Copies of this chain bind each other. A is one copy, B any other.
């Protein structure tokens, strides 16, 4: 399975599955180290602002984020369901692949109430090594600017 498209498609499916199954401790394993993980809004992205509702630059920071989430536990229990489009391959540069992927995320509250929570796209750079694709850089561009204050579980 060395076809980059397939590899990225499967990696994204695994990434979404880990989050939606509440296996958040696996989340950082999808990233290279160091890495970049940023969440921003389409408006900030369009205006060239760095954004950064969330900003992590290493696996350690990603892990810390999950630990904090597990310990704090002050938010109402909920889960996500990610649905991703096919990755659009923007460029292949040696072992690096740039891709963009549309997402919709539904949020399911403890009560069962379900709502469309976030839409947007991932702007990614993957590094492919030994048949594995890891995220070197993920910029999560949320279409709406309303999403930020509610953001607990990673997108």
A108 interface residue per 8 A CB criterion: yes
Question: Smallest distance from the beta carbon of A3 to chain B beta carbons, Å?
Answer: 9
Work out how many copies of this chain go into the complex. Answer: 3
A12 interface residue per 8 A CB criterion: yes
Contact: A16 with B143, CB < 8 Å?
no
A103 and B104 alpha carbons, distance in the complex (Å): 11
Per-residue 0/1 for A109-130: is the Cβ within 8 Å of any B Cβ (1 yes, 0 no)?
A: 0011111101111000000000
Known: A17-B102, A114-B119. 19 other contacts (CB 8 A): A5-B6, A10-B88, A13-B85, A13-B88, A14-B88, A17-B100, A83-B102, A83-B103, A84-B86, A106-B116, A106-B119, A108-B143, A111-B146, A112-B145, A114-B116, A114-B118, A114-B143, A114-B144, A116-B116
Contact: B10 with A86, CB < 8 Å?
yes
Contact: A115 with B112, CB < 8 Å?
no
Which 5 A/B pairs are nearest by Cβ-Cβ distance?
A112-B146, A81-B119, A13-B88, A112-B144, A108-B143
A5 and B5 alpha carbons, distance in the complex (Å): 13
Contact: B81 with A104, CB < 8 Å?
yes
Contact: B20 with A144, CB < 8 Å?
no
Most chain B Cβ neighbours within 10 Å, of A10, A88, A120, A121: A88
* Contact partners of A85 in chain B: CB under 8 A: 13, 16, 82-84
Question: Smallest distance from the beta carbon of A92 to chain B beta carbons, Å?
Answer: 11
Question: Smallest distance from the beta carbon of A104 to chain B beta carbons, Å?
Answer: 5
A10 and B101 alpha carbons, distance in the complex (Å): 11
